[in-house]
Amino acid sequence: MKIGISVATPSALVLSAGSAFAAPSDGWGEGFGHMMWGGGFGMAGGLMMLVFWGAIIALIVFAVRGFAAGSGPASKSDAAEILRERYAKGEIDDEEYERRKAKLGL
């Protein structure tokens, strides 16, 4: 019997607290429904909330794309491309080209 009282008492307190915080509703749009649209700012508050969360999500997406674009084997292929261009222009000779190519692991 003691266990039944200890379980029932907290749930009764939670249920009574929920009804105590609820504002009396005289019509549509009052009570909890009124707070859903921005806490008193009407539809503009709800729209501003959507803009805020949209901006946060967009920043996260741009950050992830930026970090993903900066990583990878792009530097190795760029170095090989530069080496080939310099060899084609005649800036480096055969020995230098082969030595640098071996160093890059190509």
* Average pLDDT of the residues in 11-24: 54
* Average pLDDT of the residues in 16-41: 54
Q: Is the torsion defined by CA of 98, 101, 105, 106 positive or negative? A: negative
Query: Can you give the pLDDT at residue 38?
Result: 47
pLDDT > 90 in the chain, percent: 25
Domain boundaries, the chain: 1-36
